[in-house]
Structure 1
Amino acid sequence: MSELIQAVLKSEERSNFRQFASLLRSADKKYLLRNEILQLFNEKSEQFSDSPNLQKLIRYVQEIILENDFFCLIIRPRIAKQEAYRILEDLTVEPMSVQELLDLRDRFVNHYHPQEGDVYEIDFAPFYDYSPVLRDPKNIGKGVEYLNRFLSSQLFQDEKKGQVSLYQFLQLHRYNGLQLLINERIRSTEELSDRVKQALGIVSDRDPNDPYQTFRFELQDLGFEPGWGNTAARVRETLEILDQLIDSPDHQTLDAFISRIPMIFRVALISPHGWFGQEGVLGRPDTGGQVVYILDQVKSLEKQLQEDLELAGLAILGVQPKVIVLTRLIPNSDGTLCNQRLEKIYGTTDAWILRVPFREFNPHLTQNWISRFEIWPYLETFAIDAERELRAEFQGRPDLIIGNYSDGNLVAFLLARRLKVTHCIIAHALEKSKYLFSNLYWQDLEDKYHFSLQFTADLIAMNAANFIISSTYQEIVGTPESVGQYESYKSFTMPDLYHVVDGIELFSPKFNVVPPGVNEAVFFPFTRTEDRLLNDRERLENLLFYDDDPEQIYGKLDNPDKRPLFSMARLDRIKNLTGLAETYGQSESLQERCNLILIAGKLRTDDSTDHEEISEIEKLYEIIDRYQLKGKIRWLGVRLPKIDTGEVYRVIADREGIFVQPALFEAFGLTILEAMVTGLPMFATRFGGPLEIIQNKVNGFYINPTNYEETAEVILEFLDQCDRDPHYWSQISQRGIERVYSTYTWKIHTTRLLSLAKIYGFWNYTSQDHREDMMRYIESLFYLLYRPRAQGLLAEQLQRS
């Protein structure tokens, strides 16, 4: 990128660059972000029309920081790559190191103190020297594919060493003390190869459909225990893959074989934050989407595990999987079951919610729900107590731990470290990306958000995890125009606390994109009338359009037959339902053609304790009054059971309505999938995950929720096309349904997740020594940085109570 800067400065474009620098100096702001830079440049675009290199350079600039005698260009020449340059008054260009850039940001907020010595630096880069890294940014998020190629080449480069590792790995597997796969009759890698060929002779002579138990003892005499398959055909396929892996190993064969091994019987999913249950918890602050995601994932996980274990031939041993969601027990549970230790998950055989209470350091707080921003002091002891409870429920260790959100990911690290278990994390959303400059101004925000703890916990968890599940590619590294959520942790400053020089290796194969699915029993196309219940349909139609209940409904529609413009979300700033109401209020054309229907939590500020929700409630009422929307808008302050949510979407679709998802940022967008699969044309934010779900103008539409006029134009253009072509609504509807079924099902998700867990479990086994130094570094961050701050927060909470 320095070459492009020099191309500008050593040509006739130099004068235009100087003009642009002067333009920057005249701006009110001293710290400009990409959109502001582009807006400033475009306002004077005529002046720079003859400067193609300058135009190209500006497109790559992410930030500009102005100081007295120079300004700093922070450039993102490509995804996952950042460079910084100091431009002096005489237009001399000097590259800046990461440390210099972080110092500059500290100076910008008046927290640079060189006389007090160097600030503490966090740098994970040296610990990734031991592990493979991808080269092409396009392959980020496809880590396991690269890992398999790397493993097979490294592991079997020394054929003898690779075979020994494989042999030892096969010896490990047991279930409740029962040996699986191979027993002591196979004493070496040479014997393993010979016995595989003998076993193939036995099963090849049998009818492919012969059950495993009819030839079990013949294989046992050779040294093979259950786990190879449930029929002669399945056993033969598995043994043939192993035979090929021994004789001529490659990454596809390794993947195929490891994916078949019965390694996972017990899974623990960690979500300690609270209000985790099946009834009466949705709509609580911070919990709704995560609860829905995990419960759907659990049901699919159990089903897939049952299928895998059946195929492995373990039914004869009575092997059944068990799945536990670990959360906290809340004594003051507000009428929910959150004060019960165990709760069976509906629709499962052996899946449970296990609730462990926080220790009573501060009973005034721990008896009740605790905000995700205040939870940090209780997580370490929660992990210690939870280990004992999990061991008791599983009657042993889990085989896989899955962390959820920042708090769950930290607990997953603590548990996995103590239990020596493979673990993965799922961020769902990282707060650092949601709150602009949250790290730079952390001290001003600490009383409310405690970002110093959260961002430290994120760094610990993402580096400790064996693998990371993201819902989209851009969750990791963004787009050419925007920085990804994980990418934002690459380098940043927490002034007066620490500098992150290298916070995460974005090219690590630990990253894998595995999007969630939809619950197909609840969310299905509105055209499947045979699966819909007439009573539910009528009841919810009345709720949406006709019922008069001031306790939970605001607004009576003048003309209920207008096309419904529908949205459903929490009332918080990021979800931006007030922005949608503003869009509707500013567009008389939308008001003439549509009613706005919102399902949005609460109607009254007195019913909420969440400051952000209270602010949004007040704002929504103000917008309704300002634009005189009475008779055109209907606001339902209800919490719907999931099964009703699916039918609500279908009722809107019956009237050829549309769904608008106006979030300022959406990490993924599960509601988008749920609405699309029911048949609703989707209009969703272009900021975040929806960019990867929707194909614009094919099966949905992008909107810029910050531009009300443009959003209205996109919707009106669709409505105009519907008027011109009576089949257009149905075409978009059907394409949305097809998009979900082809890519976003829980079957696809859990099959992939379990395959990843096995591959990374194998990788973890073969490279334990290479991870220990990183884990020791992570522990030092936890005990020397995280724990003292958590204890400090606890002291503050005790003073407040």
Structure 2
Amino acid sequence: MHELAQTVLNSDEKVALRQLISTLGTSGKRYLLRNEILQAFGDYCQQTEKPAYFFHVSGLGKLINYTHEIILEEESTWFLVRPWIASQEVWRLGADMESFERMTPQALLNVRDRIVNRFQPQILEIDLEPFYQGSPRIDDARNVGQGLAFLNHYLCSQLETDPEHWLEVLFQVLHRLEYDGLPLLISDRITSGKELVEQVKAALTILNQRSPQETYDKFRFDLQALGLEPGWGNTASRVRETLELFNRLIDNPEPGVVEAFVARIPAIFRVTLISIHGWVGQEGVAGKPETAGQVMYVIEQARNLEKKLREEIKLAGLDLLGIKPHVIILTRLIPNCEGTACDMRLEKLQGSDNAWILRVPFAEHNLQVTQNWISKYEIWPYLDHFALEAEKQLLAEFRGRPNLIIGNYSDGNLVASLLARRLKATQCNIAHALEKPKNLFSNLYWQDLEERYHFSAQFTADLISMNAADFIIASSYQEIVGTPDSIGQYESYKCFTMPSLYHVVDGIDLFNPKFNVVPPGVNENIFFAPSQTGNRDDNCRSQICQTLFTREDPQILGNLKDPKKRPIFAIAPIDAIKNLTRLTECFSKSPELQEHCNLILLTSKLHPDQTTHPEQAEEIAKLHELINHYHLEGKIRWLGLRLSNLDLGETYRAIADYQGIFVHFAHFEPFGRTILEAMISGLPTFATQFGGVSEIIEDKDVFLINPTDLEGTTQKIVQFLETCDRIPEYWQETSQRVIERIQNKFNWDSHCKQLLLIAKIYKFWDFAIPENREARMRYLETLYHLVFKPRAAEILEKHSHIKSE
């Protein structure tokens, strides 16, 4: 980067750089982000009539295209550049335009503090980097998020380097496996790795004389005489395959063999999924608007994990011993539950044999708060006591310790880290969406936002839990490290400031193999293609069509002049990030779209007085204004309804019956549950290019849209619709492609298989090659007690003054 900058400073482009910085200064802003920088540079190139190549391939063009932030000070200009994904460098250009020097992250954090007039010469610095030194590390940014594959290759290389040592390590790992005191795989009769190899060969001799279909109970005692306990398989052929995999792993270790062998190890029987603030239930609940996606994800994940564990236990032959999986969703009990089951301590998960929702109440404190639902921004003071009480109840329900604890969202992940530490369980974190990157400058101006959002507690909790976790599941690669044009959600925690509170010099190692991309699935019993007529309920179909197109209701706005037009369908909470107002504006300003289509919006609210959130009320009011201003009566239908999952599935299919399209117009979308639902229901889907959606949608040139570019978005949609009109089969062909895309790439069976495999690998990894874990955990405990808990205590103090109306 220094060489590139010097090329600019030693050429005529230096003048252009000076003029650009001067132009940026006239904007009145001192802190500029990538979009503003590129826009300003593009305007400068146009105004100064630079040749077309200058924007991209000139020295200055390259420098600007690497730049993600510029901070203007009187004596210098600061550049945050990303030469490649997940790599950030800080450079300072002197006012004399001569010196261009690399600076430390600490220097950048000081500058950011000065920008908001909150600089302190001495401040707490949080640096996790020393605790990852010496740990195996991914060296190519393209492989970030492939921790499982990395560890498989690494373990193979270690087995080849020192096979005798690693045979003993493998023996120790397998010898530790048990279920409630019942030894699995290996008994005490086998005392070393070398002896295990000999006994495996003897077992294979026995099994080669048995019928492949012979069940395990017929030859169980023969294997136990050799020191081989249950868990190798349920039939002679299955046991033989597993033992042969073990032999191959010892003789010729390959990543595929490691994965295949570890997948068969019976190591996980009890799983806890934690989702605390989400109003978790099954009938008439499915989360509040801010958590509906998270709740549906957790319920589907739990149901499918229990199913997958049941399959694995049966294949291992352990069902013959009465062993069965036990999965618990841990959430909070809400006494004032508005007629739902959220005040029920224990609720069985529908469609499962042994999966449950366990609800634990918050400590009483102020009953005006703790007996009601609590927003994700206000929940922090209650998590410490919740974790202690939840530990007791989990141990009672499981009658043992969980093997795997999966946290969801910031609060659930923090509790997962507390429980996993105490229960010595493997910890998995799933963020769903991290608030810091969603809310621009939320860390820089945290003090101004603290009264409403309490970001200081949340961001500290995120740092603690993501570093405490054994592994992290992300739905997309971009969630971790972003794209060349955008910083990833986890990457945003790498280096940031909370002025007057602390500086994070190095918050997370993005190249650590704890990161794994494992996209979620979709419930194919609810969301499926409209052509599956045998699975559709005619009565439900008729009612949904009436609701969408003709029914009059106080919670429905608009009567369609021509209900047979293709519908543009959008479903989202009505907030600024989901951007339904801009979608409506896009439709309002396009006669072509109005000629081809009706716009149908599905939200949970229709009027400003139905929400207590000022931002939501503002968005609802703005949407009403747009409808009136552009005279959209007869062209738009807005449903302020909460639909059940079954009704929602039929809603997507009803839109597909009219050969409609789905549009997701969000400013940013980490992944997009509704996108999966719409696509598997057969709807061609246009979705925001910002976030992880590009990893769902295949035909990016056609279906990825820029929600800030209304004209470009309109053009893409109109071109698609005109092609559908011109080629009758085009819509159907597109519909079939998106259905197959989701079925093949985003299904719960694959998700659960991968998640359990990762958990087993990390259990082995933690034993075989322990990181500097205890020191890191002690460091994180210090942050928890000295930073997080005081921030949470301030929220509790505020809650103590809330009185009944």
* Residue 156 of structure 1, CA deviation: 5.8
| Partner residue in 1 for 2:94 | 88
Q: Are the counterparts in 2 of residues 156 and 163 from structure 1 also a CA contact under 8 Å?
A: no
Equivalents in 2 of 1:611, 1:395: separation in Å?
Answer: 46
- What SS is found at the alignment partner of 1:275? coil
Q: Are the counterparts in 2 of residues 422 and 466 from structure 1 also a CA contact under 8 Å?
A: yes
Q: Are the counterparts in 2 of residues 127 and 774 from structure 1 also a CA contact under 8 Å?
A: yes
| Partner residue in 1 for 2:124 | 120
Equivalents in 2 of 1:372, 1:30: separation in Å?
Answer: 32
Work out the number of aligned pairs and report it. Answer: 796
| Partner residue in 2 for 1:11 | 11
Q: Structure 2: state its 5+ residue gaps.
A: none
Which of 636, 650, 654 is residue 639 of structure 2 equivalent to?
Answer: 636
Does residue 543 in structure 1 map to residue 550 in structure 2? no
Please list the CA deviations of residues 406-436 of structure 1 after superposition, one character each: whole Å capped at 9, or x if unmatched: 0000000000000011010000000011100
Please list the CA deviations of residues 235-274 of structure 1 after superposition, one character each: whole Å capped at 9, or x if unmatched: 0010011122233434433222222100011100001114
Does residue 100 in structure 1 map to residue 107 in structure 2? yes
| Partner residue in 2 for 1:571 | 574
Which of 289, 309, 314 is residue 293 of structure 2 equivalent to?
Answer: 289
Does residue 74 in structure 1 map to residue 77 in structure 2? no
Indicate the larger mover: 224-233 or 728-737.
728-737
Please list the CA deviations of residues 542-580 of structure 1 after superposition, one character each: whole Å capped at 9, or x if unmatched: 110011112x21111111111111111111111111221
Equivalents in 2 of 1:691, 1:349: separation in Å?
Answer: 36
Equivalents in 2 of 1:408, 1:612: separation in Å?
Answer: 25
Distance 1:37 1:189, change over 3 A: same
| Partner residue in 2 for 1:110 | 117
The amino acid of 2:236's aligned partner reads: A
Does residue 681 in structure 1 map to residue 670 in structure 2? no
| Partner residue in 2 for 1:725 | 727
Indicate the larger mover: 763-772 or 491-500.
763-772
Which of 744, 748, 751 is residue 749 of structure 1 equivalent to?
Answer: 751
Indicate the larger mover: 468-477 or 173-182.
173-182
- What SS is found at the alignment partner of 1:44? helix
* Residue 155 of structure 1, CA deviation: 5.5
- What SS is found at the alignment partner of 1:636? strand
Equivalents in 2 of 1:188, 1:102: separation in Å?
Answer: 53
* Residue 11 of structure 1, CA deviation: 1.8
Equivalents in 1 of 2:257, 2:36: separation in Å?
Answer: 51
* Residue 606 of structure 1, CA deviation: 2.8
Q: Are the counterparts in 2 of residues 274 and 330 from structure 1 also a CA contact under 8 Å?
A: no
The amino acid of 1:527's aligned partner reads: S
Equivalents in 2 of 1:38, 1:17: separation in Å?
Answer: 13
What aligned pairs does 1:326-365 form with structure 2 within 5 A after superposition? 326-365=330-369
Please list the CA deviations of residues 64-97 of structure 1 after superposition, one character each: whole Å capped at 9, or x if unmatched: 1101121111111110011111111211212211
Q: Are the counterparts in 1 of residues 671 and 692 from structure 2 also a CA contact under 8 Å?
A: yes
The amino acid of 1:256's aligned partner reads: A
The amino acid of 1:94's aligned partner reads: E
TM-score, normalization by structure 2: 0.97
| Partner residue in 2 for 1:58 | 64
| Partner residue in 2 for 1:381 | 385
- What SS is found at the alignment partner of 2:783? helix
Please list the CA deviations of residues 489-529 of structure 1 after superposition, one character each: whole Å capped at 9, or x if unmatched: 01000000000000000100000000001111111111111
- What SS is found at the alignment partner of 1:799? coil
* Residue 282 of structure 1, CA deviation: 3.3
Does residue 395 in structure 1 map to residue 402 in structure 2? no
Please list the CA deviations of residues 476-500 of structure 1 after superposition, one character each: whole Å capped at 9, or x if unmatched: 0000010000000010000000000
Q: Are the counterparts in 2 of residues 106 and 112 from structure 1 also a CA contact under 8 Å?
A: yes
| Partner residue in 1 for 2:20 | 20
Q: Are the counterparts in 1 of residues 79 and 91 from structure 2 also a CA contact under 8 Å?
A: yes
The amino acid of 2:748's aligned partner reads: W
Equivalents in 1 of 2:659, 2:276: separation in Å?
Answer: 40
What aligned pairs does 1:275-674 form with structure 2 within 5 A after superposition? 275-282=279-286, 284-550=288-554, 552-674=555-677
Q: Are the counterparts in 2 of residues 283 and 570 from structure 1 also a CA contact under 8 Å?
A: no
Please list the CA deviations of residues 186-221 of structure 1 after superposition, one character each: whole Å capped at 9, or x if unmatched: 122222111000001011111111111111111111
| Partner residue in 2 for 1:193 | 197
Equivalents in 1 of 2:23, 2:576: separation in Å?
Answer: 33
| Partner residue in 2 for 1:233 | 237
Equivalents in 2 of 1:637, 1:95: separation in Å?
Answer: 53
Equivalents in 1 of 2:207, 2:760: separation in Å?
Answer: 26
The amino acid of 2:102's aligned partner reads: P
Please list the CA deviations of residues 719-772 of structure 1 after superposition, one character each: whole Å capped at 9, or x if unmatched: 111122112211211111111112111111000000001000111122346311
Q: Are the counterparts in 2 of residues 343 and 352 from structure 1 also a CA contact under 8 Å?
A: yes
Distance 1:709 1:110, change over 3 A: same
Please list the CA deviations of residues 128-164 of structure 1 after superposition, one character each: whole Å capped at 9, or x if unmatched: 1131111100000101111122233336633332122
Does residue 33 in structure 1 map to residue 33 in structure 2? yes
Equivalents in 2 of 1:568, 1:559: separation in Å?
Answer: 21
The amino acid of 2:801's aligned partner reads: Q
Q: Are the counterparts in 1 of residues 278 and 292 from structure 2 also a CA contact under 8 Å?
A: no
Q: Are the counterparts in 2 of residues 422 and 764 from structure 1 also a CA contact under 8 Å?
A: no
Q: Are the counterparts in 2 of residues 283 and 601 from structure 1 also a CA contact under 8 Å?
A: no
Q: Are the counterparts in 1 of residues 496 and 504 from structure 2 also a CA contact under 8 Å?
A: yes
Runs of 4 or more above 4 Å deviation: none
* Residue 311 of structure 1, CA deviation: 0.6
Equivalents in 1 of 2:271, 2:721: separation in Å?
Answer: 47
Equivalents in 2 of 1:152, 1:588: separation in Å?
Answer: 61
Equivalents in 2 of 1:125, 1:757: separation in Å?
Answer: 24
Equivalents in 1 of 2:537, 2:255: separation in Å?
Answer: 49
Which of 654, 672, 693 is residue 690 of structure 1 equivalent to?
Answer: 693
What aligned pairs does 1:155-170 form with structure 2 within 5 A after superposition? 157-170=161-174
Q: Are the counterparts in 2 of residues 274 and 329 from structure 1 also a CA contact under 8 Å?
A: no
Distance 1:763 1:219, change over 3 A: same
| Partner residue in 1 for 2:737 | 735
Q: Are the counterparts in 1 of residues 684 and 738 from structure 2 also a CA contact under 8 Å?
A: yes
Indicate the larger mover: 73-82 or 574-583.
574-583
* Residue 588 of structure 1, CA deviation: 2.1
Equivalents in 1 of 2:295, 2:584: separation in Å?
Answer: 27
Q: Are the counterparts in 2 of residues 270 and 409 from structure 1 also a CA contact under 8 Å?
A: yes
* Residue 283 of structure 1, CA deviation: 6.0
Equivalents in 1 of 2:79, 2:134: separation in Å?
Answer: 33
Over the matched positions of the two proteins, sequence identity in percent amounts to 57
Q: Structure 1: state its 5+ residue gaps.
A: none
- C-alpha RMSD of the superposition: 1.4
Q: Are the counterparts in 2 of residues 276 and 287 from structure 1 also a CA contact under 8 Å?
A: no
